[in-house]
């Protein structure tokens, strides 16, 4: 990662973190949904993808036991967490709640 995870989540713009794995089928289903979310939100949301196999200490720190797991951060605070695939409108509803 170019910058530290802490620097990324300290943003005053909401940051949606997608903990995923290359071998995970549902993770592959979530990727295009997240792209649509980003297209809708534009600069009002950052999306960061974290490969749990390459970033195990970070996954352990946040107690990620299954993938995909999404977390929403703002100003360094975790505001929301959900495992599994959600549809675009469900994700947008959560993000807009904290934007």
pLDDT in tens, 75-90: 999 999 999 999 999 9
Beta bridge pairs of residue 19: 50, 69
N-to-C CA span, the chain? 25
- Residue 27 falls in the annotated catalytic set: yes
- Rounded Cα distance between 91 and 34, Å, is 8
- Model confidence at 94, in pLDDT bands (50, 70, 90)? very high
Q: What is the pTM of this model?
A: 0.95
Q: What is the C-alpha separation between 14 and 16, in angstroms, rounded?
A: 7
Q: Of 24, 58, 79, 92, which one is the catalytic site residue? A: 24
* pLDDT tier for residue 1 given thresholds of 50, 70 and 90: very low
Residues 43 and 73: beta-carbon distance below 8 Å: no
pLDDT of residue 98: 86
Which tens digit of pLDDT belongs to each residue from 29-61?
999 999 999 999 999 999 999 999 999 999 999
* Percent of the chain topping pLDDT 70: 97
Give the model's pLDDT for residue 3: 67
Partners of 49 in beta bridges: 18
Can 69 be counted among the known catalytic residues? no
Helix, strand, coil fractions of the chain, as percent rounded to 5: 40, 25, 30
Catalytic residue among 17, 27, 52, 59: 27
Asked if pLDDT for residue 2 goes beyond 60, the answer is no
């Amino acid at each position: 990662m170019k910058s530290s995870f802490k620097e990324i989540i300290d943003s005053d713009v909401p940051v949606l973190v997608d903990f995923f794995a290359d071998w995970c089928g549902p993770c592959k289903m979530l990727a295009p949904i997240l792209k649509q979310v980003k297209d809708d939100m534009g600069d009002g949301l950052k999306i960061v993808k974290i490969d749990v196999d390459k970033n195990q200490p970070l996954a352990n720190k946040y107690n990620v036991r299954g993938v995909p797991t999404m977390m929403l951060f703002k100003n360094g605070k975790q505001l929301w967490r959900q495992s599994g695939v959600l549809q675009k409108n469900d994700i947008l509803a959560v993000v807009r709640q904290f934007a």
